[in-house]
Amino acid sequence: MLKGKQIAAIIEQIGNFAVEAFHVLGLFVIGGTIVWTSVHSYIYDIMPKPYATLDDILLLFIYLELGAMVGIFFRTHRLPVIFLLFISMTALTRYLAIDLKAFDNMKILTIVAAILILSLSALILRFAESHFAASEEGLPKE
């Protein structure tokens, strides 16, 4: 007969497996959605045009960055926050490039300031990651 600790260990293993399975399934769904959407946008929105606009190219960069973020998360089980910053900067740049003529000066300055803040955040994050991040063994980096 199984003891209480053995039953708890089995239940914990089943729970860990369920969480991992959900994690992998979710990543495949997100990754597939990114690929499906990017291919659809490319075929139906970009290819019929005689040339790609800056807006189209920046949209493809956003899809690329989203795909890279999912790939890194799939491999490492860590969310690369810096990719979210890159995606945000690209999205704001795309927004600025598309509707620049419709914006007043204050809105343009606000968007540019947001891009600058995101850029500085990425710089700080990269610096902190290289100087203060823990190594894989759990020991502080030297």
Q: What pLDDT digit, counting tens, does each position of 8-44 carry?
A: 888 899 999 999 899 889 989 999 999 999 999 999 9
3-state secondary structure of 77: coil
Taking 60 as the threshold, does the pLDDT of residue 65 lie above it? yes
Domain assignment present for 21: yes
φ, ψ at 134 (rounded to 5°): -80, 150
Domain assignment present for 67: yes
Domain assignment present for 141: no
DSSP 8-state symbol, 79: -
Domain assignment present for 81: yes
DSSP 8-state symbol, 111: H
DSSP 8-state symbol, 50: S
Range of the domain at 22: 1-135
Looking at 14-137, which runs of residues are DSSP E strands? none
Domain assignment present for 118: yes
How many domains are contained in the chain?
A: 1
Domain assignment present for 22: yes
Domain assignment present for 142: no
The Cα 37–Cα 54 span in angstroms is 18
